[in-house]
Amino acid sequence: MSSAGYRVQNPASGEIVETFDTASQADVDTALDRAHTAYQSWREMPIEERGKIVKRVAELFTERKDELAQIIADEMGKPLPEGVEEAEYCTDIFNYFADNGPTLAADQEIPTFSEGKAYVERRPIGVLLGIMPWNFPYYQVARFAAPNFMLGNTIILKHAEICPRSAQAIQQIMDDAGVPAGVYNNLFASHDQIAEIIADPRVQGVSLTGSERAGSVVGALAGKHLKKAVLELGGSDPYVILDTDDVKEAAKTAWETRMYNTGQACNSNKRMIVMDDIYDEFVSELTSLAEGMRPGGPGDDYETTYTPLSSKEAADRLDAQVQQAVKDGATLRAGGTRGDGAYYAPTVITDVTSDMEAYREELFGPVAVVYKVSSDEEALTLANDTDFGLGGAVFSKDKARAEKIAQQLDVGMSNVNTPAGEGAEVPFGGVKRSGFGRELGPLGMDEFVNKRMYYVAD
């Protein structure tokens, strides 16, 4: 954790606006006690009754969307329209699980050749720890909390150090929606306290969205203490364009996808793989789009301006990666410059080769890396030549051609003719160094659950 601890830090200037106390040992003990005690009654409440409370949580996210958007604009620089959209997406997620949870968690009878009946029951397992990142402060929590509320699990939530106000806003929504005391517990925990919580026998699982480094540490702790873990880590998603009737529009879609949340999304299209006959025009258009953007604030027209990254440290780290790529021989087509505070100019890079660090790294910010290929086979090989495996997309006028490649991507989420198939009902997660486990959709209720076999003899 940063030595600055929990704080609101203006990403444009770096000024620390407000600080928050890290949890005391008494706070940790209280959270564990409350979560465990609440579990005893929460799990016994009929799932339909839990669903009514979850529906109210959903309503409050939309009712407070403008306030919520302003909070994360102040904390991590998210454009206001994107913040509103994120809050509304949380409503969709809580509604989906409230509406579909009873069906998704229903007992499943298994055909048996013996004299009796066998079932798989989906039952809660207990207290869960969630460790959430700053890039989507509400959405990340919603996709973890919603299915587990419906299952009857209880939650201790450790949010990112730069998102204390949004963490408190979520807790307020839970309280105001009627989530019983102890079912959801926001905790400004330290790294040492996180290790203590994972070790506690009352805690039965941990979900982390974050970096590979954080995932490795948390995964090791979960394994040491025999706890279930779900890890959603980094990504370097391939975005393959085989052909198009409108290169300008294809570049615009690719650029808008890359710039969403100022490029700070795990499943962003960080590697654009473009067929050689449209490559030059595509790169030219992408470069023009990048050069046409100007620094601005969260309330400005986010289609023509860009906001700062989450922190000066994040901008420094991205700049070092870009400068190293250029030093290694990559071509800088646009951007590549630091601005004030945490601003980083939208950047386009080409001619990255497999011997460069940039070929393997995740570039978490407004940087488009474009590769040229001359065959479908070369595109597929390049797309899969990465340690990550979160998502990927393939575009072609010939859907069958795109599908042939998309079906061979080594990723958790593969898409044809769209940057990403998204929705509360669509599972999210990856393979390889992008982590394991799934959130959202039917699979979101199949992680932290006791799939108990129940057999009744005749």
Catalytically active residues are 232, 266
Residue 201, C-beta contacts closer than 8 angstroms, at least 6 positions apart = none
* Residue whose entry in the numeric block shows the structure tokens 């079906």: 407
Distance set, CA 218 to CA 167, 370, 449 (Å): 21, 33, 20
Residues of 108-121 as b/e, b for ≥16 C-beta within 10 angstroms? eeeeeeeeeeeeee
Q: How far apart are CA 363 and CA 359, in angstroms?
A: 10
Can you read off the two tokens belonging to residue 95? 């509604």
Q: How far apart are CA 7 and CA 20, in angstroms?
A: 6
Can you read off the two tokens belonging to residue 66? 């403008």
Can you read off the two tokens belonging to residue 117? 């009946």
Task: Report whether 66 contacts 84 (CB < 8 A).
Answer: yes
C-alpha closest to that of 238 among 358, 375, 396, 410: 410
Q: What is the DSSP letter of 43?
A: T
Can you read off the two tokens belonging to residue 197? 């919580």
Q: How far apart are CA 77 and CA 152, in angstroms?
A: 34
* Residue whose entry in the numeric block shows the structure tokens 């100007």: 294
Task: Report whether 394 contacts 415 (CB < 8 A).
Answer: yes
User: What torsion do the CA atoms of 112, 115, 120, 121 make, to the nearest 10 degrees?
Assistant: 160
Q: How far apart are CA 274 and CA 372, in angstroms?
A: 5
Residue 47: burial class (beta carbons within 10 Å; 0-12, 13-18, 19+)? buried
